[in-house]
A and B are shown apart, each in its own frame.
Chain A
Amino acid sequence: MSDATMRITGTRRRTVAAVMTVLGAVGLTACASGGEEEGAAAPDKTEIRFTYATGDESWNGAVKSVVEAYNAQSEIATVQLDPLTGGTDYATAVKTMDATGNWPAVIDMRDTRTYIEAGKLAPIPEEVTALLDDAVYSPASDGNVYVAPSTALNGEIGLNIIYDKAYFAENDLEVPATYDEFIELLEEIKANGDVPLATAAGEIWPSDQLWKPLASPVFAEWSDKGGFWAAVEEGKASVEDLREPLDRLKYITDNFVLEGWQSTQDAQTTTLLVNHQAVMATSSAGIGRLNDIHKVAPDFEAGLFIVPDDEGHINVLKNSVNGDTLSGLSISAQAKENGAEYDAAVDFLTYFYSVEAADIIEQAGVIAPNIKLADEITRNTAIPGAEDYFALLESPELVWYQNETLSPNFSAFNTFFRQTRIEMQDGQTSIDEAIAKSQAEFDNTITAG
């Protein structure tokens, strides 16, 4: 390299360095001023995140409306919505937040026992729980309440079958009163040349929508004895006891379910129903699904019912308020450490369980959480088909049962059991194989601890 070249290069380097220094200084100034502006935009208000799992449109709308109403009236906090969108793996998302120390102040909690035992959640104070019906929350083993319900705890009554009322009327069909009538109903629809039932297993978990009503008579038998799964853990019951519901599941799948159920997504069953590709569809969204149908097809007359058992009982699982399936709103331990975030979270939950917020939730098409002032809530009776939902709650055939599962490994087994059932429904394995595999997995993950 010549001296001249070196001089030019050196000059260029100095020039570039000078320019970079100026740009850096300008950039830093810009950053600093930007920070000042942001700080000026939200004086004295604590900003907190509310992470929630998105669901049907009604639920998403309810959350958004409540948060907007809270932010408009709160003088101490601003809540930022942090949705876990469809397809997001909940467990992975929460683990990532945990690993990066990025917990939201308020979180729509699943797999709750795992996180309580790991010390990741903060106790919900009495000023919040005092607003709730005493039956919908329960203290953990340390005496603290960690979870409060996000919607009405009407058990799994929202897990039902949505049907085309107009079709039923045209063909003189009636809502079945027993399991045999349900099968006759399926046969009649099929005899008409129509597809009786659309169901979904694309995301795996919706496969429960058809399974649980069929298995609930067996689960209900063990309700007073600590629950079916606890009995299996103690060796008093076994997966073999589920043979009859598994037989029924296979029979219905093989004969009456719309083709393609293996890859069908939960939300698609609504489309299949309103497009008349099936006369009925499984759902777990309760009144929210009726609301969604009303939005996309206002003329569609939807109704809902739950598959009854042989005697005509409608067996519905009560919400777990302290088991492994416990879910609802929680405050993170990280927010507790911050102090101001905890206060903001408590303030938000206090609003969430107010009559004002309950009215907003109802207007969005979701049934509000069970608060003490429930009588003051303005109920939304405008959703077509909602009367069926409320009639179920008043039905003399309704039997609430409990099936608490205290093992933190139960969700791992439950996922395996769902996939095993899908495998069996699909004809990849026999019922005998499905029972044997599930029992072996239960023994390995739950009984052996």
Chain B
Amino acid sequence: MSETHTVEKAPVRISGTPTAQSDPVRGGSQRFRRQRAAMFGFIAPALLVYLVMVIAPSLQSIQISLTDWDGVNDAYNYVGLSNYEDILGSERFWNAVKNTLLLGLGSAVIVNVISLAVALLLDRLHHWQGFFRTIVYLPALVSGFIAATIWKYILNFNFGAVNTSLRDLGVPTWAHDWLGDSDIVVSVLLFLLCFTLGGNTTLIYLANLQSVPQELVEAARIDGASGRQVFRFVTWPMLAGAVTVNLTLAMIAGWTIFDQIMVLTSGGPGFISETMAFFIYKVGFGEYRAGYGSAAAVVLFIVVLVSTVVANRYMRSREIQA
């Protein structure tokens, strides 16, 4: 519907407002304000819940991070910045930061590369595309907790399907303690994480591929471009927005990975596979150190914010060039 149509109708509906009748532009502006108020009215309940349930506790965690609160007792003491000092001097915390960055960035890159390749294959399918799209998306329908539990059975050292198969195939030396070998456990977690994240990413790429203007592709082909050149100079730039969205989502999912760690390794063996989210949970809830855990949460927020903004800025600049 055009704007003109809306402005013409406005004086008729806003009865009893001579100014509006005499000034269609001003009448439209009032109507827009009223619409905006109505829209705000619609989102107000959700906004209220969000403010009370998410924003307020998040802000309160800054206050708690300056205390020695155990999470249960009403009494606590302010301890200044000592929680932050302890965290920043903790080898365990920095190991968790390293794992978080590794899993966040690693999963973002791997998932995006694989998903883009799968989306390109799906885009070229002329038959059974719906079936294969469903197959690709299925892992994303399973919750991280359930998927991790299934993987835990599959990768069990003594009774798991992977090691049993390897032993049955006559290559017992290939059997590993996939979730207990400190040399490989973080890589195994990275591999498992990519499974869960791939479905959504593939669908976003596929939707973007299918909206690439065909006239551009055909023009490039008429100009003699090879398939690779068409992808490099036409398709890839058109996917820039999707790359930004997918990388950002994948990084955030990686930064906040928790359930897989909880189920698969409990952060072990030792502390080797702890991530920041798991570390916060462990000290804040399991060890009754809510103040210390809140300080770690504040640090995690800063790490996620800075790294996401930097990554986004780089990707946005790429979009502009495209």
Contact = CB atoms under 8 A, between A and B. Distances in A.
A272 interface: yes
A259 B157 CA distance: 8
29 contacts: A89-B285, A92-B285, A92-B286, A114-B70, A114-B288, A118-B70, A119-B74, A120-B72, A201-B180, A201-B268, A202-B266, A204-B266, A260-B157, A262-B177, A262-B179, A262-B181, A262-B268, A262-B269, A263-B180, A263-B269, A264-B180, A271-B158, A409-B288, A415-B282, A419-B267, A422-B270, A424-B270, A426-B270, A437-B91
Given A91-B287, A201-B269, A415-B282, 5 more contacts: A119-B74, A260-B157, A263-B265, A412-B289, A416-B287
Given A92-B286, A117-B73, A263 B270 contact: no
Contacts, number: 105
A218 B281 CA distance: 33
Contacts of B271: 419, 423
Given A118-B73, A118-B74, A262-B180, A428 B269 contact: yes
Nearest to A421: B270
Interface in B31-82: 70-74
A149 interface: no
B159 A271 contact: yes
A411 interface: yes
Contacts of B282: 415
A422 B269 contact: yes
B218 interface: no
A89 B265 CA distance: 14
A111 B288 contact: yes
B86 interface: yes
Given A111-B288, A277-B158, A408 B268 contact: no
Interface in A250-268: 259-264, 268
Contact of A204 (B178, B180, B268): B268
A261 B156 CA distance: 11
A260 B158 contact: yes
Contacts of B187: none
A95 B263 CA distance: 20
Interface in A78-97: 87, 89, 91-92, 95
Closest 6 CB pairs of A and B: A423-B270, A262-B180, A260-B157, A263-B180, A412-B287, A262-B269
A444 interface: yes
A138 to B, nearest CB: 22
A444 B287 CA distance: 14
Contacts of B307: none
Nearest to A90: B286
Given A115-B72, A202-B180, A419 B285 contact: no
Interface in B170-221: 177-182
Given A92-B285, A263-B157, A420 B73 contact: no
A97 B118 CA distance: 45
Contact of A263 (B74, B91, B177): B177
B272 interface: yes
Contacts of A202: 180, 266, 268
A437 B177 CA distance: 26
Contacts of A127: none
A98 B268 contact: no
Interface string A105-117: 0000001001101
A262 B91 CA distance: 21
Contacts of A268: 156, 158-159
Interface in B228-282: 263, 265-272, 281-282
* Chain B interface, >50% SS class: loop
B157 A422 contact: no
A264 B73 CA distance: 35
Interface residues of B, number: 34
B57 to A, nearest CB: 11
Contacts of A118: 70, 72-74
Given A120-B72, A422-B270, A260 B177 contact: yes
Contacts of A428: 182, 269-270, 272
A264 B158 contact: yes
A91 B157 contact: no
Given A277-B158, A426-B270, A411 B177 contact: no
Contacts of A271: 158-159
Contact of A444 (B70, B86, B285): B86
Nearest to A93: B285
A203 B270 CA distance: 11
A419 B288 contact: no
Contact of B272 (A92, A201, A411, A423): A423
Contacts of A89: 285-286
A31 B128 CA distance: 48
B157 A264 contact: yes
Interface in A384-442: 408-409, 411-412, 415-416, 419-420, 422-424, 426-429, 437
A118 B265 CA distance: 32
A207 B70 CA distance: 26
A192 to B, nearest CB: 20
A271 to B, nearest CB: 7
A120 B271 CA distance: 32
B175 to A, nearest CB: 9
A416 B74 CA distance: 25
Nearest to B267: A419
Nearest to A205: B266
Contacts of A203: 266
Contacts of A444: 86
B72 A98 contact: yes
Given A114-B73, A259-B177, A268-B158, A91 B266 contact: no
A201 B270 CA distance: 9
With a 10 A CB-CB cut-off, give which of B86, B265, B270, B281 has the most chain A CB atoms: B270
A270 to B, nearest CB: 12
A107 to B, nearest CB: 14
A408 B70 CA distance: 10
A437 B178 CA distance: 27
A415 B286 contact: yes
Interface in A105-141: 111, 114-115, 117-120
A416 B180 CA distance: 18
Interface string B121-138: 000000000000000000
Contacts of B72: 95, 98, 114-115, 118, 120
A201 B72 CA distance: 28
A261 B267 CA distance: 15
Interface in B283-306: 283, 285-289
B134 to A, nearest CB: 31
